[in-house]
Amino acid sequence: MNVPDRRATVLVVDDDLQVLDSVSMMVEDLGFKVATAAGGAEAIAVFHEIAPDVVLTDIAMPQPDGFGVIRALRGIGRSPKIVAMSGGGFAGPGDVLDVARALGANAVIRKPFKEAQLRKVLLSALKNGPEP
């Protein structure tokens, strides 16, 4: 008898393929199922295909950027848990991660990060429900 896999699925989104691979391996090592997308448009399409439990998205990507991904996913009926990640930078008067949180990210994490930090952030996002 086949037993369904009950692990949470994390969609990892980053246009830097080296970062995408590295973060995906971390997420998998933490015991989550992993799906990937190499940009914002692909992330939105994959989200509609698989309805992951968490979307872990980079901010600085070609259009739509991570802000666009957050806006698009917050605008759908079943709003996912979203974790924004960034190596830094500024968006107007604030840090990009502050802006991501204001747009609806449940949690944020600054790159580079350690596996333990990622685990804590993902578990927190899962526990805190779909809306920020």
| pLDDT-above-70 percentage for the chain | 86
Q: For 15-62, how does the pLDDT look when each residue is reduced to its tens digit (9 = 90+)?
A: 999 999 999 999 999 999 999 999 999 999 999 999 999 999 999 998
C-alpha 111 chain-centroid distance: 13
Distance between CA atoms of residues 76 and 11, nearest Å: 16
User: So where are the chain's domains?
Assistant: 9-126
Distance between CA 8 and CA 31 in Å, rounded? Answer: 8
Question: Two tokens at 11?
Answer: 């969609």
Note the CATH architecture for domain 9-126: 3-Layer(aba) Sandwich (3.40)
Q: How confident is the model at residue 132 (pLDDT cuts 50, 70, 90)?
A: very low
Q: Which two tokens stand for residue 64?
A: 């739509």
In this predicted model, what pLDDT tens digit does every residue of 101-116 receive, in sequence order? 999 999 999 999 999 9
